[in-house]
Amino acid sequence: MTDTYLCIGAHPDDIEIGMGGTAARLAASGAEVIFVNLTQAEMSSNGNPELRQREAAAAADILGVHNSSSLSFSDRGLRLQERNVHDEIVRLIREWRPRWLFAPSVHDRHPDHRDCSVIVREAFFSSGIRRYGNEAAFRPDNLFYYQINGPGSPQIAVDISDWADRKYEALRCYRSQFEQAGGVKTPLTNGYLEDVEARDRLTGREAGVQFAEGFTSEKLPLLSTGVDFI
């Protein structure tokens, strides 16, 4: 039976920044990897939702992710729609029944990333309650948090050395966000991709490999001797 992994972000490019290499590695193993962005990032300083969707599709294709979508919850308004967002995530979890769930770290400078993290955590719990909602209850084995901005404090590292080039190629699809090219200057247009690569390299060095992505987890992972995280 093929394992399924559900990855949730607030905006198109969040998942790719935080765990694009891990997603590519999982997809290459034959797993079903699903990307769900809660908003279409309509409040972004550069680009527009239509362009962002084309960029997201191109990035997903490079990573080998064949199921990528963006929902229509309001950018910068997740907390105002928290119940609806929560219930949609519960529905997605029960529909796809993923082995693992992924969300942004709550320790991120961007409020949308923090809000997304909190709502996914609540949905992770609610999805396993038999009397919550109408669908059959299901809770993934674990919820892992990826880091978007900053170094974070990872508890677990995934070796992405063989998939790092693919990750950075996917991120370069988001030209509207990472290249100024007539738009306004933002933190994303000022060497951001270089910082992401440097973080992956540093995390890899700490783990004894060339490149790695760091995660924290909701539950303490239990690994058998000789069995990798992925």
Domain ranges in the chain? 4-217
Share of the chain above pLDDT 70, in %: 97
Residue 224: count of CB within 10 angstroms of its CB: 6
Does residue 1 register a pLDDT over 90? no
Output the six-digit token pair for 48. 């527009």
What was the pLDDT predicted at 225? 57
> Of 113, 117, 17, 57, whose CA–CA distance to 49 is shortest?
57
If you ran DSSP here, which 8-state letter would residue 226 be given?
A: T
pLDDT, tens only, 115-148? 999 999 999 999 999 999 999 999 999 999 999 9
What whole-number distance in Å separates Cα of residue 136 and Cα of residue 91? Answer: 9
Q: pLDDT band at residue 80, thresholds of 50, 70 and 90?
A: very high
Mean pLDDT across the stretch 164-181? 94
pLDDT, tens only, 192-208? 999 999 999 999 999 99
Q: Give the CA radius of gyration of the chain.
A: 17
> Of 44, 65, 34, 73, whose CA–CA distance to 178 is shortest?
44
What was the pLDDT predicted at 180? 82
Domain 4-217: CATH architecture, name and number where available: 3-Layer(aba) Sandwich (3.40)
Per the prediction, the chain carries an average pLDDT of: 95
Cβ–Cβ under 8 Å, residues 189 and 179: yes
What whole-number distance in Å separates Cα of residue 18 and Cα of residue 23? Answer: 10
If you ran DSSP here, which 8-state letter would residue 81 be given?
A: G
Strands 142-146, 212-217: pairing is antiparallel
| Predicted model pTM | 0.96
Q: Which long-range contacts link 219-227 to residues 24+ away (Cβ below 8 Å)? A: 219/141, 219/142, 219/143, 221/142, 221/156
Q: DSSP 3-state assignment of 13? A: coil
Does residue 227 register a pLDDT over 60? no
